[in-house]
Amino acid sequence: PDTKRAAPTAPICCEYSGTMTSIPPKVSLTASTRPEIKLAQLRLENSRQTVKLIKKSYFPTLSIEGQFMEGGKNPVSNYGYNFGGYLNFPSINGMLIKNEIQEARYLYDKEIANAKNTQNSIYLEIQNAYLKLEEKKNQMPVAMLNVKQSKENDELSFGRYKVGEASPTELD
């Protein structure tokens, strides 16, 4: 038998040190960087502004207009001007405006629920990632023991081969 192979004695280079992580700092970091949360906040603000705009349908509008004209053969003698203001009262259909306001409020409530749903799904995603990290952290010592056991088995097989009790295929 070929006994030139040295027994594997090099230490395994994988060292593991546990990490201390907690969920709350990750959540605050995510809240400031995730575009989904920013989009949900913008939609919420948009629907809040829509409610305010529809409520303004009850109130009249004020507009001011001015005009100056010159013309004819002699521009100095042929001129005119108009100046006026308008206060427009909308034709109020109380039920229509009331229903529009109610619909806008329902849409606002829907956007609140969507924003909360987005926030919860992101938090769930972070929590799942954290739990996977904890699972991998707990699997590391077992993996290190498996590597150590494989190393010992290799040394035993090489020792048996060295004394002639094992075949070369057992070393692979």
Write down the pLDDT at residue 12.
Answer: 44
The residue that leads in pLDDT, 114 or 16, is 114
| Cα–Cα distance for residue pair 169/161, rounded to 1 Å | 10
Residue 94 pLDDT > 90? no
* Band (6; pLDDT cuts 50, 70, 90): low
Which residue, 5, 149, 9, 156, is CA-closest to 170? 156
Query: Per the confidence metrics, is the pTM higher than 0.95?
Result: no
Write down the pLDDT at residue 10.
Answer: 43
Residue 16 pLDDT > 60? no
Residue range 160-172: mean pLDDT, rounded: 77
Write down the pLDDT at residue 72.
Answer: 65
Write down the pLDDT at residue 13.
Answer: 46
